[in-house]
Structure 1
Amino acid sequence: MKINWGTGIVIAFGLFMTFILYFVFEVQSNSKYDNDLVVEEYYKHDSHFQDEMVRIQNAQDLKEKPSIVATNEGVKIIFPNGFKSNDIKGNVLLYRPSNKKFDFNTPIALHNSVLLIPQKKLIAGRWDVTIEWQYDKKSYQTKEVVYVN
């Protein structure tokens, strides 16, 4: 049987579609390939985007901003001395882009204007640190990337 060019194109197209569909089903069914959303409730999170922008702008307007430093002891979040440590309330979210199982929240509890997140709670690599806090009836938010060794 002789195959003409039209039949060859149809066969090649069919094989290509089978190849692509195999990989789509493999990625969707195999738990080794994690394809979760970054945020669980994406649309609910997106509806509060304007509030987040206001908190970020409030933080950028500060003359002295909190700093985030990775040390051998862990990650230190240092608030400026102009803030009263007892009046700062909020949370610190440590987000691990490579695996959401390592994400965790820590309430802000300062000791001499410093919050230390111990090294034993962290694994080496990249961490996205988000600080959301309230001070003097105003909300603030700071985001920064930290690399832990």
Structure 2
Amino acid sequence: MNWGKGLITGMIIFMLFISAMGVRMFMVPGDDYDHQYYEKGLTFNRDYDREKQVMTDQATPVIEQVGQTLALTFKTPLTGSIRFERPSDQRQDRSFPLAPDAKNKVVLPIAKLATGKWQLTINWQHGGKNYLYHQEITIQ
């Protein structure tokens, strides 16, 4: 084999390698990053203040899984919402309004939610103050 054939063979192999990597790059699933990273960065201070308000007022909700329901107990009357976020599949994310009873307890059915890890984000208001609380739970 002479030099010309070796160079052409090497270039063909290199081009096939680059083409295969290009095809593979488009076949893999999308990156697992937060698509709203910049928007969340702009509201970070507001969210931080709301999370700090939970600690200041000692308003951390008590979260219990009872059978096929999730019970949240708050210290005061409130209005707000809860968001269930599935780390492994964004399409399963759900939001529910908080409707507490007379004892400031909210009971949510979780039978339709997949078992496994979920990130809870609870937003609520009481007495002109805004609160934000995050917790990871495992639904069984």
Is the contact made by 1:68 and 1:144 (CA closer than 8 Å) also made in structure 2?
Answer: no
CA distance in 1, matches of 2:137, 2:57: 21
Residue of structure 2 in register with 1:30 after alignment: none
Name the Cα RMSD after superposition: 2.5
Distance 1:131 1:69 in 2: 14
- Correspondence list, 1:1-149, <5 A: 1-2=1-2, 13-27=14-28, 33=29, 35=31, 38-39=34-35, 41-80=36-75, 83=76, 85=77, 88-111=78-101, 112-149=103-140
Alignment-mate amino acid for residue 19 of structure 1: A
Task: Check whether the contact 1:92–1:130 (CA below 8 A) recurs between aligned residues.
Answer: yes
The answer to whether the 8 Å contact 1:70/1:147 transfers is no
**Which whole-Å deviations, capped at 9, do the CAs of 1:46-71 have from their partners, x for residues lacking one?**
31111001101111222342122222
Once the 2 structures are TM-superposed, how far is the Cα of residue 144 of structure 1 from its aligned partner?
A: 0.1
TM-score, normalisation: structure 2: 0.80
Uncovered stretches (5+) of structure 2, i.e. residues with no partner: none
- Structure 1: gaps of 5 or more residues: 28-32
Aligned amino acid, residue 61 of structure 1: T
Per the TM alignment, residue 26 of structure 1 is displaced from its structure 2 partner at its CA by 1.4
Identity of aligned residues (%): 24
Q: Is the 8 A contact 1:68 1:75 kept in 2?
A: yes
Q: CA, structure 1 residues 78+18, in 2 after alignment: closer, same or farther (shift >3 Å)?
A: same
TM-score by length of 1: 0.76
User: In structure 2, what is the Cα distance between the partners aligned to 1:98 and 1:134?
Assistant: 29
Could you tell me whether the CA contact under 8 Å between 1:70 and 1:146 is conserved in 2?
no
- Distance in 2, matches of 1:57 and 1:128, equals 19
Aligned length: 137
Determine helix, strand or coil for the equivalent of 2:64.
strand
